[in-house]
Chains A and B, each alone.
Chain A
């Protein structure tokens, strides 16, 4: 073993190389690596976040859809109710109209009947006088028997 000044040269070279590595090689590399791992972590986090957001959005969409369905059902029900109501109303109206028509017709019939009765009454006195004249063979004084005739007519 021959120890000589080479050992000094090597020591100096070693110190210089370590210094160079410390200043110009290590920091850019380790920083790039750290930054990258941070970036990857952020990316993963963002992906998780996005997945969560998607889940939320899906839930929200389902909620909205359910609400819309409910609303539509309510509307249809309402419309049905309204339609029924309209039909009922129309029916009621028709019934009332019918009643009214019937009442009017009845009143007319009654009126006609009364008129006929009047006419008949008028005829009755004449006819009964004529009948009585035939039976009696004489004229009947209408005025004298008016009371009787009127009684007869009212009995009709």
Chain B
């Protein structure tokens, strides 16, 4: 029973991996050990597939609404889309103090995309993996935001943008000054030079903490949520009473999780906006 359970959990937490085998050929990994042997050059096909699919779904729906957008009385789906656009636009206006046409569309993309990825968490954990194994696919992890590669991929893109805009707005000198002359500064030039390594260390940690915390916060929340769903799913095999109890727990956790997935999508968006706003601020 215990071995079964740990096997079940492990199975649910294993990605479908496509990569380069140690012998040089490319192909799917048939076990976790085989996947581990592949090193860096491998892809989580399930995470990427669901992530890109959901992103395309978002863009398709919103593109449709954008094409049909009229200045007349909005109806149905256009209303829904406009509420989201207005919501993101308000957040950007409140939190972003520079001028950059990219921030608001990026906020919308992040919010909707992350929300859709998180939403996969509410689908009962066995449904799609069972369908996949019926189709011959052994591993299928359907919540992309429980994969650190996905969340860190997004947060490091944001990190890249932070550095890009910091240099663009403040110049290389200004950005370097920001990294080396704060938070400790002195009027004495010798002390100032002495303080540069200390400041650089602190500011680098500060800078790196942004993408890492941004990515890991989303990953951690979604991973923990999924883990609890998997643990609840284990109860369904442990007798009628446990299964009923598990059903109640599943319902409760799912309802609570609606809040979590929305909140995490919102947080990712707002923090991105705030970080980029800081990058645009010239002292």
Contact = CB atoms under 8 A, between A and B. Distances in A.
Nearest to A22: B105
A7 interface: yes
B53 to A, nearest CB: 10
Contacts of A25: 59, 62-63, 66, 105, 108
A17 B55 CA distance: 7
Contacts of B70: 32
A17 B105 CA distance: 10
B148 A26 contact: no
A144 interface: no
Contact of A7 (B59, B65, B106, B149): B149
Given A3-B149, A26-B104, A13 B71 contact: no
A33 to B, nearest CB: 6
A51 B157 CA distance: 55
Interface centre among A8, A27, A30 (most CB of B within 10 A): A30
A36 interface: yes
Interface in B1-37: 15, 19, 35-36
Query: Main SS of the interface on chain A?
Result: helix
Contact of A6 (B44, B59, B101, B102): B44
Contact of A36 (B40, B71, B147): B71
Contacts of A14: 109, 153-154, 157
A13 B89 CA distance: 23
A3 B148 contact: yes
Nearest to B59: A20
B102 A22 contact: yes
Nearest to A40: B71
Given A14-B157, A17-B109, A30-B85, A7 B66 contact: no
B175 interface: no
Contact of A29 (B55, B81, B101): B81
A18 interface: yes
Interface residues of B, number: 50
A119 interface: no
Nearest to B158: A14
Contacts of A9: 43, 48, 153
B199 to A, nearest CB: 29
A28 B153 contact: no
A27 to B, nearest CB: 8
B157 A15 contact: yes
Contacts of B40: 3-5
A10 interface: yes
B260 interface: no
Nearest to A31: B69
B153 A18 contact: no
A25 B105 CA distance: 8
A41 B178 CA distance: 45
A24 B63 contact: yes
Contacts of B72: 36
Given A4-B44, A35-B71, 6 more contacts: A9-B43, A13-B52, A14-B157, A25-B105, A31-B69, A32-B70
Instruction: Report, nearest first, the 9 A-B pairs whose CB atoms are least far apart.
Output: A10-B153, A6-B149, A26-B105, A32-B69, A28-B66, A22-B105, A7-B153, A21-B105, A6-B44
